[in-house]
Structure 1
Amino acid sequence: MYLGLDLGTSGVKALLIDADQNPVASANGELDVSRPHDGWSEQNPAHWIEATQAAVTALKQSHPAELAAVKGIGLSGQMHGATLLDAEGAVLRPCMLWNDTRSYRQAAALDADPRFRAITGNIVFPGFTAPKVAWVKENEPDIFKRVAKVLLPKDYLRLWLTGEFFSEMSDAAGTSWLDVATRKWSPELLAATGLDESHMPALVEGTEPAGTLKAELAARWGMGGKVVVAGGAGDNAASACGMGTVRPGQAFVSLGTSGVLFAANDSYLPNPESAVHTFCHALPNAWHQMGVILSATDSLNWLSGVTGADAQALTSELGEALRAPGSVTFLPYLSGERTPHNDAVIRGALIGLAHQSDRVALTQAVLEGVAFALRDNLEALRAAGTELTAVTAIGGGSRSRYWLRAIATALGIPVNIPADGDFGAAFGAARLGLVAAEKADPMAIFTPPATSETIEPDAGLSAAYGEAYQRYRALYPAIRGVSS
């Protein structure tokens, strides 16, 4: 048996799979996000431990024999978080999360240093780890002086599991400190934020062992022998491992809290001017590109909170058939935006409201706005040299067929729906645990699921969607100066 632990923004998912990669059981531990100020987003790392213990304890109660047979554990986690530890390993402050944008000034200052784009292949986004640490250095100097280690969220969870300081390439690539081409920490980029390699965990590939489970935890969960903990992956690379998106030309669109358009590559293809992320993949000698929007299902959840209707009820009111774009346009910049704008202070908008703009019209606008934001990502990937012919849909938002029809039509390419199964980040993490524990061939393990359905673009609405997208594109520069 193999266990995948996915540390997300809203919870920790624990998934057991067997040697044939069949999901056996899963459980969850819930998490909350603290937003004490506009643009801030934090979590207490102690809550990650509590949520993990809740999820694994639930598996022990429901499947004790299967949990006892675990030989490998893989980790997946929300990326970019700055978990700051002192010399005794104590957490110094709440972790600033991936969607915390307070460090936009520090990010701009680091990005103005040409070494960062040259070495990392990426813009220094406010959500990345390095500018967060620079913010702490400027605003909380007493805390900064005590920093002995900087860990990403899943790697803090690893420290608790194993007592070891490790990270891996896919997650480290999102810090702005990694030389993404050579897959090593960059001493000069670390020095630019007042750090050195002693502040960093050791690096391994995601498929390699990175510690073993502590005996006390193994005993608590009824596991015996040596349980290998794999390097693991950042959440998007872990999802790619779960989806089998590891070969050039393979791609997926993820509709989670954030939205991601992810493409696998077998070479390093940076183009930071396009605001596309170019990161290491979770397996050796592989990279990937992705465009990221910060509010995908979060946009629908926002509308749900405003209207008092849950997300499923909102989308079901639209019916089955795709509608022509309405007069209302939604810009999904609730927490700022990454690709293609790299704008931490921009905020969302509803444009074109009229007396007849009812709840259905607002829901349609939200779904279309996210679809058009993903079209922005597709255009950015094209500018970075990656052409996609189809994508596979994953994430909670992919349960809405209407939304997938809108995305297929907005992108102008087919959207594949995988056969029933759990192919997300927790499954990818469990696969990584299997590979590390058994020294298996990653390409033999990371196979894609069968496609149960393909949603083609609606040819009859392609022109209308194209016109609506151009209207959407024109609105960002129009509101940029007045929405922050």
Structure 2
Amino acid sequence: MNILALDLGTSSVRALVLDADANPLPGALARRKVRVATGADGSGTLDGPGYLACLVECLDELAAGGRLRDVELVAASAQWHSVLPLDAAGEPLGPVLTWLDTRPMPVASAVGPADPEAFHQRTGTWFHRCYWSVRLPWLRARTATPVARFVGLVDYVLGVLLDEAPMSVSLASGTGLLDLHRMDWDAEACELAGVRPAELPPLAPTGWRGRLRSAYARRWPQLAGSAWAAPVGDGAASNVGSGCVDATRAAVTVGTSAAVRLVQPDEAGLAPLADELWRYRVDHEYVVTGAAYSSGGNLFAWANRELRLPDGAELEAALARVGPAGHLAVNPRFGGDRPPGLVPAGSGELRGLGFGTTAVDILAGLMTALCRLVADDLALLESGVRAPAEVVLGGGAMAASPWWRQMFAATLAPRPVRHQHHPEIGAMGAALVALGRIPDAAHVAGIGRTDEPETPNPAADARPR
């Protein structure tokens, strides 16, 4: 049996084929970049139909290469917090609001939850611009055509491809409208959002499986009989793919954004949620607790674009000469705060610049500042459990920079810090969740020392050029 894993991220759409143990098969990867439209007003949006077209192109590419044979299961890792209004015919009424969008504000008459602490413990979230409790009224006020339903990006995409596409409890928990314990829409959160349950996607039950619509089954006959699993929030999938599935390991993932997270079984007698941390669901049996940041690999991308940095080994050598701390005072919140923070986009700061400051000094300052944010929130996570035995670094930005891995190791000391070398941790994690094998992820391959050389990605390296 093979597994088709979809990684529906913010900066790219990826489709790859894995074996029955969730290991990528050589040459079976298709990828399309997507462009987030950002603006000085804090906007961060994606084009829904364009995003769907990218995924279709990926599947066409794999099908043309004969890579979809023997696929029995389709799993998906998808970005949390996105929202898209639809009309009565299911057509988008505007762009997709991503987690990057900081424009939504509570309407003037909004008073928030009656008991904010109880709301936080119940939903794992806050009355905040990142969540649907604030986003839906804001969107309604700016949508000329009446909104029939609100969906997330992955629900829209799968709603086109599949006979039915209920929302997973994992994706629903990222909306801020889900009661984590009852695993149903929360009445107070829905009231704050001004939405009826009929205007939200139905929730997928345990063990739900979907099938392709007939038109797409004819387009990809190899997938006609494949079962589609309920999608997993990208952060939860990354934890599983990093082998961090209990209180002995915390995951620090840096892709476009960054996060520090801890996964636990729901039955583990969870400690009350700290004021500064969120909690979402991995599936019906596991939850994930953590903190996230709007800045991550996008800091590196900005610096690389604007500062004319050296390349490859030359850059790593230059970073090594900066030393462990650098001399700049940096606020890395270029994209604003993720919840519960309310700092708007455009709040990044660089202080201590002089005529001797180099582009590499600035990059090192940005990267080090993020390490320190993560260290502070990891200490909060540890306060709710016995201290994690180790930290596992993962994500594309971690794979790209040995220096950044070493800086995380130094900042998080004395904790042991390791690195998940496989770049496709989201896809691998989603597949393990779909297989019902979350505990097995503790033994997932690819985790090594932070100073070990990179393991090539066989799926990418064997791809026809």
Q: TM-score, normalised by structure 2?
A: 0.87
CA distance in 2, matches of 1:310, 1:199: 51
CA deviation map 1:157-210 (0-9, x unaligned) = 2112213131112221111100012211112321222111111222236x7234
> Which residue in 1 is equivalent to 2:163?
163
> Which residue in 2 is equivalent to 1:416?
418
Whether the 8 Å contact between 2:166 and 2:203 is mirrored in structure 1 is yes
> Which residue in 2 is equivalent to 1:471?
none
Q: Residue 90 of structure 1: SS of its match in structure 2?
A: coil
CA deviation map 1:329-379 (0-9, x unaligned) = 221111111267443356000011122111221121111111112123223
C-alpha deviation, 1:444, in angstroms: 4.3
Q: 1:158 to 1:118 in 2, by over 3 A?
A: same
C-alpha deviation, 1:100, in angstroms: 0.4
> Which residue in 1 is equivalent to 2:234?
235
CA distance in 2, matches of 1:195, 1:404: 44
Q: Which runs of 4+ in 1 moved over 6 A?
A: none
Q: 1:42 to 1:108 in 2, by over 3 A?
A: farther
Q: Residue 388 of structure 2: SS of its match in structure 1?
A: coil
> Which residue in 2 is equivalent to 1:379?
379
Q: Residue 154 of structure 2: SS of its match in structure 1?
A: helix
Whether the 8 Å contact between 1:5 and 1:426 is mirrored in structure 2 is yes
CA distance in 2, matches of 1:336, 1:36: 13
> Which residue in 2 is equivalent to 1:359?
359
> Which residue in 1 is equivalent to 2:64?
61
CA distance in 2, matches of 1:334, 1:109: 28
Q: 1:262 to 1:140 in 2, by over 3 A?
A: same
CA distance in 2, matches of 1:314, 1:306: 18
Whether the 8 Å contact between 2:394 and 2:423 is mirrored in structure 1 is no
CA distance in 2, matches of 1:252, 1:229: 27
Between the two proteins, what is the percent identity of the paired residues?
Answer: 25
Amino acid at match of 2:51: W
CA distance in 1, matches of 2:223, 2:297: 40
Q: Residue 56 of structure 1: SS of its match in structure 2?
A: helix
> Pairwise mapping of residues 296-315 of structure 1 onto structure 2 (< 5 A)?
296-309=296-309, 312=312, 315=315
Greater CA drift, 226-235 or 161-170: 161-170
CA distance in 2, matches of 1:91, 1:193: 19
Say yes or no: does 1:368 pair with 2:368.
yes
Whether the 8 Å contact between 1:110 and 1:131 is mirrored in structure 2 is no
Greater CA drift, 35-44 or 74-83: 35-44
CA distance in 2, matches of 1:113, 1:184: 19
Q: Residue 223 of structure 1: SS of its match in structure 2?
A: helix
The structure where helix makes up a greater share of residues is 1
Q: Residue 55 of structure 2: SS of its match in structure 1?
A: helix
CA distance in 1, matches of 2:282, 2:217: 29
> Which residue in 1 is equivalent to 2:51?
48
Greater CA drift, 445-454 or 48-57: 445-454
Whether the 8 Å contact between 1:166 and 1:210 is mirrored in structure 2 is no
CA distance in 1, matches of 2:109, 2:302: 29
Amino acid at match of 2:359: R
Amino acid at match of 2:57: A
Q: 1:294 to 1:153 in 2, by over 3 A?
A: same
Whether the 8 Å contact between 2:244 and 2:441 is mirrored in structure 1 is no
Alignment length, in residue pairs?
442
* Structure 1: gaps (5+ residues): 457-484
> Which residue in 2 is equivalent to 1:244?
243
CA distance in 1, matches of 2:318, 2:166: 47
Say yes or no: does 1:128 pair with 2:131.
yes
Q: 1:352 to 1:391 in 2, by over 3 A?
A: same
C-alpha deviation, 1:314, in angstroms: 7.5
> Which residue in 2 is equivalent to 1:19?
20
C-alpha deviation, 1:445, in angstroms: 6.5
> Which residue in 1 is equivalent to 2:75?
74
Greater CA drift, 258-267 or 321-330: 321-330
CA deviation map 1:133-161 (0-9, x unaligned) = 12123x32534xx2222111112121122
CA distance in 2, matches of 1:178, 1:270: 17
Amino acid at match of 2:218: A
C-alpha deviation, 1:76, in angstroms: 1.4
> Which residue in 2 is equivalent to 1:3?
4
CA distance in 2, matches of 1:446, 1:8: 24
Amino acid at match of 1:26: L
CA distance in 2, matches of 1:449, 1:350: 39
Q: Residue 67 of structure 1: SS of its match in structure 2?
A: coil
Q: Residue 216 of structure 1: SS of its match in structure 2?
A: helix
> Which residue in 2 is equivalent to 1:427?
428
CA distance in 1, matches of 2:215, 2:250: 40
Whether the 8 Å contact between 1:68 and 1:222 is mirrored in structure 2 is no
Q: 1:12 to 1:117 in 2, by over 3 A?
A: same
Q: TM-score, normalised by structure 1?
A: 0.84
Greater CA drift, 351-360 or 223-232: 223-232
CA distance in 2, matches of 1:430, 1:452: 21
Q: 1:414 to 1:321 in 2, by over 3 A?
A: farther
Q: 1:405 to 1:107 in 2, by over 3 A?
A: farther
> Pairwise mapping of residues 384-463 of structure 1 onto structure 2 (< 5 A)?
384-385=384-385, 387-399=387-399, 400-412=401-413, 413-418=415-420, 420-433=421-434, 435=435, 441-444=437-440, 447-454=443-450
C-alpha deviation, 1:325, in angstroms: 1.4
Amino acid at match of 2:368: E
CA distance in 1, matches of 2:178, 2:105: 20
Q: Residue 160 of structure 2: SS of its match in structure 1?
A: helix
> Which residue in 1 is equivalent to 2:36?
33
Say yes or no: does 1:279 pair with 2:286.
no
C-alpha deviation, 1:107, in angstroms: 11
C-alpha deviation, 1:252, in angstroms: 1.0
Greater CA drift, 447-456 or 75-84: 447-456
Q: 1:444 to 1:397 in 2, by over 3 A?
A: closer
Whether the 8 Å contact between 2:126 and 2:340 is mirrored in structure 1 is no
CA distance in 1, matches of 2:51, 2:208: 22
CA deviation map 1:426-479 (0-9, x unaligned) = 22233344x2xxxx55434674225322569xxxxxxxxxxxxxxxxxxxxxxx
CA distance in 2, matches of 1:340, 1:382: 19
Whether the 8 Å contact between 1:243 and 1:447 is mirrored in structure 2 is no
Amino acid at match of 1:183: M
Amino acid at match of 1:50: A
